[in-house]
Structure 1
Amino acid sequence: MDKNIRQFYDALFDLIGLMNQPQRDSILLREAGVSLDRALFPLLVVIGLRGTVGIMELAGMVGRDHSTVSRQIATLGRLGLVTRLAGTSDRRERKVAATPEGLEIVKALDAARERLMQPILAQWDEQDWKTLVSLLRRFADDASALPGPGKDKKLPQ
């Protein structure tokens, strides 16, 4: 394997591992002043970022199965944080959007995430930070454009 690709995946897996640590979620929720089950808030954040998203697409984005996400969306709905919508092209398709209350929580989490990142950002040159963000966006967009499961080519793992 190419050394740069290996180093990239090594760093990526380190970041994913950090982001998936339950204690980090607890710290973020506490910093935001939000009382929400740790399993629910990532769904709410993605919905808040995407606007309206299909349940199947959301399940894929968070790496959970459809039935689990569907139950969790029902819980978020009972809490008044999301609303279910019928699909526009297929009535069987279920979509979900954040309510104004849900968007307020997303805003609080965004602000808390920013405060928690400040010690890291304080060590970075502004141009380095902008370059990292730009290159990450480019990589995510390029990777998203690759053929997905069920097509001729498989995505790298």
Structure 2
Amino acid sequence: MNAKPESPSDATADAAVPGAAGTAASAAAAPGTQPFSAIDFYKPENYSPMNSVGYLMRRIVTAVSQEAERQLEGVGLTHAQWMPLYKLYLGHASTVAELARGCQLDAGGMTRLLDRMEAKGLCRRVRSSEDRRVVNIELTAEGHEAAKHIPVVLSNVQNRYLAGFTEGDWRTLTGLLQRILENVEASSASEKQP
């Protein structure tokens, strides 16, 4: 027996996936376990990277990153630099540890990156007066000015790549990607449980 979608977003997602009409996007899971797909979208015997959601997302992310980096060259920013710079600008991180987590870098990689950013005059590291083990990061005036270009470039690049999409298409796509991300996070959380 086919389960009915539980919400309008489930119905939208099912309609957007060929062959998924009339099936639940995920089966009910016991507390503390991750939900699982009611449909095996991929099978080893006919797996093709060209139809893989992961492969397609990776190609899109790479294209957006490369074009954004190309456009940000004018203000002297590389992809590795604009991402942490923008996180600092938005206030999503203020310490080396927070920024490393947010950029998915290890402490050594973040230290080397901050060395380059400091050499460019974009930020400075300041040891916390409350806890000497904590190193805060502050944007300089040059860092603030460079960061202002980032949302302009990212908006332009993504809008160009979404040419021909309606607002409804965009909302559906964003919702589906959010659902995938929620599944990824749930899967990661369940793997960490004993």
Which residue of the partner structure matches residue 63 of structure 1?
Answer: 104
Quick one: which of 138, 143, 149 aligns to 1:97? Answer: 138
Larger Rg: 2
Tell me, which stretches of 5 or more residues in structure 1 are unaligned?
none
Equivalent pair of 1:51/1:97 in contact (CA under 8 Å) = no
In structure 1, distance between residues paired with 2:156 and 2:165: 15
Which residue of the partner structure matches residue 19 of structure 1?
Answer: 61
Secondary structure in 1 aligned to 2:132? coil
In structure 1, distance between residues paired with 2:96 and 2:162: 34
The CA RMSD measured in Å over matched residues stands at 3.7
Where in structure 2 are the equivalents of 1:1-157 lying within 5 Å? 2-3=39-40, 10-20=52-62, 24-25=65-66, 27-32=67-72, 33-87=74-128, 90-133=131-174, 136=177, 140=181, 147=189, 151-152=192-193
If the length of structure 2 is used for normalisation, what is the TM-score? 0.56
Tell me, which stretches of 5 or more residues in structure 2 are unaligned?
1-36, 44-51
If the length of structure 1 is used for normalisation, what is the TM-score? 0.66
Q: If each structure's helix is expressed as a fraction of its own residues, which one has the higher value?
A: 1
**How big is the shift at 1:116?**
1.8
Kindly tell me the number of residue pairs found equivalent between the two proteins.
149
**Bigger shift: residues 117-126 or 68-77:** 117-126
Equivalent pair of 1:80/1:99 in contact (CA under 8 Å) = yes
**How big is the shift at 1:105?**
1.9
Compared CA separation, residues 52 and 42, structure 1 to 2 (3 A): closer
Secondary structure in 2 aligned to 1:39? helix
Compared CA separation, residues 89 and 136, structure 1 to 2 (3 A): farther
Identity within the alignment, %: 24
